[in-house]
Amino acid sequence: MEIKGKNIFLKYINQKPSKEYIKNIKSQSWYQLECIRCKYSNRKWLEESKDAFDYPIKMIELPTKRGLKIFYFCGKCDISWLG
């Protein structure tokens, strides 16, 4: 049985990130931010030439009645904290 769109998905597996994508990550305000537990940052991740699509620290914005709350999540040590 053929899965519809399978060839489109296979086209993107193991694809290298573009220079624009990496430049975009570096321009983010949380690029230099270190994890409060493991002291790792997205900058260190990219300097070690690891996968740019799977950088460890992600930012999540949650709207509230008083404004916007920003949470950071470290995928390396599974911890989140309020920014």
Q: Note whether residue 4 is domain-resident.
A: no
pLDDT at 1 > cutoff 50: no
Q: Measured between alpha carbons, how far apart are the two ends of the chain, in Å?
A: 47
pTM score, two decimals?
0.66
Give domain status of residue 28, yes or no: yes
Helix extents (H) in 1-83: 6-12, 19-26, 42-47
Q: Average pLDDT of 37-64?
A: 87
The answer as to whether 5 is a domain residue is no
Full domain range(s) for residue 53: 18-82
- State the total domains in the chain: 1
Cα separation values, 38 from 11, 41, 44, 60, 71, Å: 34, 9, 12, 19, 17
- Indicate if the alpha-carbon torsion angle 16, 21, 25, 26 is positive or negative: positive
The string of pLDDT tens digits covering residues 2-50 is 555 555 556 666 677 788 888 888 887 777 888 999 988 888 888 888 8
Domain membership flag for residue 58: yes
Q: Is the pLDDT of residue 76 over 80?
A: yes
